[in-house]
Amino acid sequence: MSSHNNEHESIPQGPPSWKEMSRRQFLTYTLGGATAFMGAGAILPMIRFAVDPVLHKKGAGEFIKVAEAAKITDVPQEFTFELPQQDGWYASTATLTAWIRKDENGEIYALSPICKHLGCTVGWNNDKAYPDEYHCPCHGARYTKLGKNLAVAPKPLDQYKTKIDGDWVYLGEIVPNTEVKKEA
């Protein structure tokens, strides 16, 4: 649940500390789920949350320094970074991944590797049968380097808001893909 984006309408009073939530979370499976249902009965996640952007509200407007602009090429490269986030009432640090490249006009963009089918993590060029594409190991979704969905997934890969400042690439919240349209 921690990596999902649950939009809770009402935040319960007196948010539990990180530690309490983390313990409750692992009790979800260690004790068979009863404690988690009692604690979070009102916010049972639905399956579609798996494919929604991770960052939401609280993360909006914040940018994290992720990569040196000079290192970005036209071949997508994987970068991981840490982001403090608020998932509902639960504060934690999320480890996020972005695939960053620059297009023919030298513009840098960063895709989120979370598959738009059911949320597995895609990789670049990881299926020999389909070179130079993103491929999902779970049910075979494929995407172009712009993130355009070619098979299985209903939508293009999301992307991060991107800002270049000095020599650095900064990434912000995850938003729906705009690169695919640019090309069309």
Partner 1 sequence: MKFSDFTAESWFENRKYYDTCLLPYTGLSGMESPPEAAEALERLRDFLDLVEKPYQGRIVTYPALQYNGTDSTAYVNEICRKVKSSGFQYVIVLSADISLAGTGIVESDLVLSLPDIEASQNKAVRSCIRDEIEALWNR
CA distances from 156 to 64, 107, 170, 175, 179 (A): 23, 19, 22, 11, 9
Judged by beta carbon, residue 47 or residue 70, the one nearer partner 1 is: 47
Dihedral over Cα of 109, 113, 117, 118: its sign: negative
Site for ligand FES in 105-164 (CB under 6 A): 115, 117-120, 136, 138-141, 152
The amino acid at 112: S
Beta carbons of 27 and 16 less than 8 angstroms apart: no
Per partner kind, with CB cut-offs from 5 to 8 A, the member of ligand FES, partner 1, none near residue 37 is partner 1
How many residues interact with ligand FES (rule CB under 6 A)?
Answer: 11
CA distance linking residue 135 with residue 138, whole number of Å? 9
CA distances from 159 to 34, 98, 99, 114, 163 (A): 36, 8, 9, 10, 12
State which of residues 44, 60, 75, 164 lies at the interface with partner 1 (CB under 8 A): 44
Pick from 90, 67, 87, 89: nearest CA to 77: 67
Site track 8-37 with partner 1 (rule: CB under 8 A), x = hit? --------------xx-xx-xxxxxx--xx
How many residues interact with partner 1 (rule CB under 8 A)?
Answer: 29
Judged by beta carbon, residue 39 or residue 140, the one nearer ligand FES is: 140
Per partner kind, with CB cut-offs from 5 to 8 A, the member of partner 1, ligand FES, none near residue 47 is partner 1
Beta carbons of 112 and 29 less than 8 angstroms apart: no
Judged by beta carbon, residue 52 or residue 103, the one nearer ligand FES is: 52
Check residue 48 for interaction with ligand FES (CB under 6 A).
no
Q: Which residues bind partner 1 (CB under 8 A)?
A: 1, 3, 22-23, 25-26, 28-33, 36-37, 44-47, 50, 115, 117-121, 136-139
